Structure 1
Amino acid sequence: MSQTTNCVPATSFLAATWRKSRHSNPRGDCVELAELVGGKIAVRNSRHPSGPVLIFARSEMAAFIQSAEGGKFDETTGTLIHKR
């Protein structure tokens, strides 16, 4: 696994284009992603856009999303699971 940088200030990414799922909660309780120069993926909480940002390699983010879609984390979320 490549090195992951954690808790980078969001102000470091002012030019980033942040995206969230179209299925997101309209109140803003969402995870947002931004593609960074060099192929890294930034992740932040939409309720705290100036808060800390987590940075992952594209391969790490792809593995996480694939695992989530495959139900690997279902037991950790309990009744919060929302199936499409």
Structure 2
Amino acid sequence: MGMNSGANIDLATAVWQRAGESADGESVEVAMLAEGHVGLRDGKDPDGPALIFTPSEWTAFVAGVQDGEFDRPE
């Protein structure tokens, strides 16, 4: 099941890869999809919903991660 904004992306053939794993076993999975879209889902719930990013949304998300925009406060 995809949560996308009008994009007609088929997740049935997506190849999901773990993005990493934390010390407590939490992980996310990513898939490179058609037309440059990127899928992101909870690694513990592969049958659950997936977020679908357009290429520009993914670029903005990655830039935010690199800039520390999503870092937890210390």
The structure in which a higher percent of residues are helix is 1
Q: Residue 29 of structure 1 corresponds to which residue in structure 2?
A: 26
Q: TM-score, normalised by structure 1?
A: 0.65
Q: Residue 12 of structure 2 corresponds to which residue in structure 1?
A: 14
Unpaired segments of 5 or more residues in structure 2? Answer: none
With 43-52 and 12-21 compared, the bigger mean Cα shift is at: 12-21
SS of equivalent residue, structure 1 residue 49 = coil
Residue 68 (structure 1) aligned with residue 65 (structure 2): yes
Percent identity, please. Answer: 32
What CA RMSD, in Å, does the superposition of the two structures yield over aligned residues? 2.3
Q: Residue 51 of structure 2 corresponds to which residue in structure 1?
A: 54
SS of equivalent residue, structure 1 residue 66 = helix
- Which one scores higher on RCO, CA 8 angstroms, separation ≥ 6? 1
Equivalent residues, number: 68
Distance 2:36 2:64 in 1: 20
SS of equivalent residue, structure 2 residue 41 = strand
In the TM superposition, residue 43 of structure 1 has moved relative to its aligned partner by 0.9
In the TM superposition, residue 78 of structure 1 has moved relative to its aligned partner by 2.8
Q: Deviations over 1:1-31 (max 9, x none)?
A: xxx716xxxxx5231111223x423764111
